[in-house]
Amino acid sequence: MQPVERAEYEGVDYAWVMQTTFVVTILVGAPAAALLSTLVTLESWGARAAFAVRVGAPIWFVTAVAVALYAKRAEAGDGGAGTDDDAAPDEEADSDEEADPDEEADSDDDGDPTEDGEPSTNESGKRD
């Protein structure tokens, strides 16, 4: 199975805007159209379809513009890029304080790391 491709966005993520517009239009627009349909006599399926288009199109358009303006203003749908930048300084500070496991493996019993990566020898020339 192929891995999912990732993309870096600058500015507004229009795929997020389209998906959010779709969901919000269904959640808000369908009940609004149903309520408005109670005020009109719709005798045929053609009349019902025409009514749905006449009412649904403006609801969709207003929702799309509102979501796009929100995304532009709040930088929504950018994958949380703003939160990663805020966390970076804390992560760097923590990494300096922690000991590197490789350094512990390269050190001899005295706690001094060997310079050339070879095991240290004691005074008699034997390896520890």
Q: How do residues 33-58 score in pLDDT, each as one tens digit?
A: 999 999 999 999 999 999 999 999 99
Does 89 fall in a domain?
A: no
Q: Beta-carbon neighbour count of residue 30 at 10 Å?
A: 13
Reference 75, options 9, 11, 7; nearest CA is 11
Phi, psi dihedral angles at 20 (to 5 degrees): -65, -40
Does 2 fall in a domain?
A: no
pTM metric for this prediction: 0.51
Does 29 fall in a domain?
A: yes
Q: How far is CA 14 from the centre of its chain?
A: 13
Average pLDDT over residues 100-121: 56
Which residue range forms the structural domain that includes residue 45?
Answer: 12-78
User: Would you say residue 23 has pLDDT above 80?
Assistant: yes
CA–CA dist 89, 97 (Å, integer)? 13
Does 125 fall in a domain?
A: no
- Domain count for the chain, please give it: 1
The answer to whether the CB of 110 falls within 8 A of the CB of 128 is: no
Does 27 fall in a domain?
A: yes
